[in-house]
């Protein structure tokens, strides 16, 4: 077999075309170069030891590494090109003639497909494309080495026999996370389980398990907040639940200033529409302590104290005042619901006589049925018609307690 070579006489100049051809040849060379994954977001070229250097020709200039180089991938999902980059050859005549100041190491760069690394004089002067990858936005899903000839093909066969180096068959970052906590060794007979597996509890079911007594099992099931044995909710204003279950309880704050709270229990078997039964809490109260002088009938008297109640239903209303009559005057206290007189304490049975007065505290309880939503309750006062004198009222009070209501 003949060889193609050319000799030059001793002492003759080396032709530039010869060096150019040598540079072109160096540009094709790759030695021990393996582009691999360090993890799901990082690529690497692992360095060899001693004389087993990882080397590559870049634009006719030979570069090598004695330490592993890595590059993290980030940014939007898509295809990216992988480059090696290096500083240009640096030879000077200081401190001696032909002093070599070249940094022979190389680095990795990842740019969007079709692009090239940004030139940075003194650090990124030359570059060479060595591969490409696919980025999902959170992980590298495929990696290919495009230089190295037979060496790259040999490396690629550790994954598949196409001569390239895809890693699409490797688990994604999410799949690796899903493997965490698997029982036993994952395999074809013990597959990883995703959050979409219908056998797994939902997020709400997992939340419902919190606080379960003992170990959950078929005989010790979790309890949800709609279980009528334990269910209770709290609302500050607004209607009662529109779709309650039998036995459900609700606490309602009816007067934030006084802290008055009513507790209702839903009884599905109750006749009529008033199925929320009052089971606890204090009365809603109104009170006016100051004295007011009354003359005439209800139409001219003050309407205080007053309450407004949101829920329609049946109520027990208690009311009263301290009354002082003058001369022969008798007094009346009238309970009004939504401005209509529904009950009164008539005449007070106080008759002091001319020139005298008499004071007495009076009160009464009235059952108010079928009250409408947002109804008002107030007290009004009157003196007996045609009689002389006036009537003074003080320490006036009214309170309402529900019996049963509707939403």
pLDDT tens digits for range 184-226: 676 777 777 776 777 777 777 776 666 556 666 777 766 665 6
Q: What is the pLDDT of residue 332?
A: 79
Which helix (DSSP H) or strand (DSSP E) does residue 260 occupy? Answer: strand 260-266
Q: What is the pLDDT of residue 293?
A: 82
Q: Dihedral (C-alpha) 122, 123, 128, 131: value to the nearest 10 degrees? A: -170
Closest CA relative to residue 45, chosen from 171, 141, 165: 165
* Cβ-proximal residues to 215 (8 Å cutoff; 6+ apart), any chain: none
Give the pair of three-digit tokens for residue 244. Answer: 């309650």
Q: With b meaning 16 or more CB within 10 Å and e meaning fewer, what string describes 276-308? A: bbbeebebbbbebeeeeebeeebeebeebbebe
Q: What is the pLDDT of residue 88?
A: 92
**C-alpha neighbours within 13 Å on the C-beta side of residue 86:** 23
Tell me the domains of the chain and their CATH numbers.
16-173 (2.80.20), 231-407 (2.60.120.760)
With beta carbons less than 8 A apart as the criterion, state whether 390 and 294 touch.
Answer: yes
**C-alpha neighbours within 13 Å on the C-beta side of residue 387:** 23
Q: What is the pLDDT of residue 21?
A: 63
Q: What is the pLDDT of residue 161?
A: 36
pTM above 0.95, yes or no: no
Q: What is the pLDDT of residue 86?
A: 95
CA angle 333, 337, 341 (to 5 degrees): 50
* Cβ-proximal residues to 256 (8 Å cutoff; 6+ apart), any chain: 236
Strand 249-255 to strand 232-235: parallel, antiparallel, or no bridges (unpaired)? Answer: parallel
Q: What is the pLDDT of residue 304?
A: 81
Q: What is the pLDDT of residue 382?
A: 79
User: Tens digit of pLDDT for each residue in 20-51?
Assistant: 666 666 667 778 889 999 999 999 999 877 77
- Give the pLDDT means over successive 10-residue stretches in the chain (407 positions): 59 65 66 90 86 83 89 95 94 85 93 95 94 93 81 38 47 66 68 72 70 66 60 62 85 89 92 94 92 72 83 95 72 86 71 60 92 92 64 90 94
**Rg (the chain; Cα; Å):** 47
Q: What is the pLDDT of residue 162?
A: 40
Q: What is the pLDDT of residue 189?
A: 73
Closest CA relative to residue 66, chosen from 51, 80, 84: 51
């Amino acid at each position: 077999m003949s060889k193609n070579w050319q000799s030059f006489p001793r002492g003759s100049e080396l032709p530039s075309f010869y060096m150019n051809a040598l540079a072109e040849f160096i540009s094709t060379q790759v030695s021990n170069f393996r582009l691999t994954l360090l993890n799901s977001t990082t690529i690497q070229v692992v360095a060899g030891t001693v004389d087993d250097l990882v080397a590559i020709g870049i634009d006719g200039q030979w570069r090598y590494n004695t330490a592993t180089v890595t590059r993290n991938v980030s940014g939007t999902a898509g295809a990216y090109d992988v480059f090696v980059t290096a500083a240009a050859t640096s030879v000077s005549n200081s401190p001696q003639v032909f002093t070599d100041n070249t940094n022979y190491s190389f680095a990795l760069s990842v740019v969007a497909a079709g692009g090239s690394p940004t030139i940075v004089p003194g650090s990124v002067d030359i570059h060479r494309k060595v591969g490409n990858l696919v980025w999902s936005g959170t992980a590298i899903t495929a990696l290919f080495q495009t230089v190295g000839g037979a060496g790259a093909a040999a490396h690629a066969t550790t994954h598949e026999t196409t001569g390239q180096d895809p890693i699409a068959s490797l688990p994604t970052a999410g799949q690796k996370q899903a493997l965490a906590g698997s029982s036993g060794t994952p395999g074809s007979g013990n597959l990883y389980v995703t959050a979409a597996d219908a056998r797994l509890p939902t997020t709400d079911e997992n939340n419902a398990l919190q606080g379960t007594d003992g170990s959950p099992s078929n005989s010790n099931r979790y309890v949800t907040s709609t279980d009528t044995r334990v269910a209770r909710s709290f609302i500050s204003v607004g209607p009662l639940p529109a779709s309650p279950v039998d036995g459900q309880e609700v606490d309602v704050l009816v007067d934030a200033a006084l802290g008055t709270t009513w507790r209702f229990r839903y009884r599905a078997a109750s006749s009529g529409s008033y199925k929320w039964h009052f089971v606890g809490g204090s009365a809603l109260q109104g009170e006016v302590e100051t004295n007011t002088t009354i003359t005439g009938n209800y139409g001219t008297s003050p309407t205080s104290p007053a309450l407004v109640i949101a829920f329609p239903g049946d109520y027990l209303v208690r009311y009263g005042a301290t009354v002082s009559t003058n001369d022969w005057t008798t007094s009346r206290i009238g309970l009004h619901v939504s401005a209509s007189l529904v009950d009164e304490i008539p005449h007070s049975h106080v008759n002091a006589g001319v020139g005298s007065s008499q004071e007495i505290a009076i009160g009464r309880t009235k059952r108010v049925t079928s009250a409408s939503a947002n109804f008002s309750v107030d007290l009004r006062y009157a003196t007996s018609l045609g009689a002389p004198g006036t009537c003074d009222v003080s320490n006036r009070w009214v309170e309402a307690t529900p019996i049963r209501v509707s939403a």
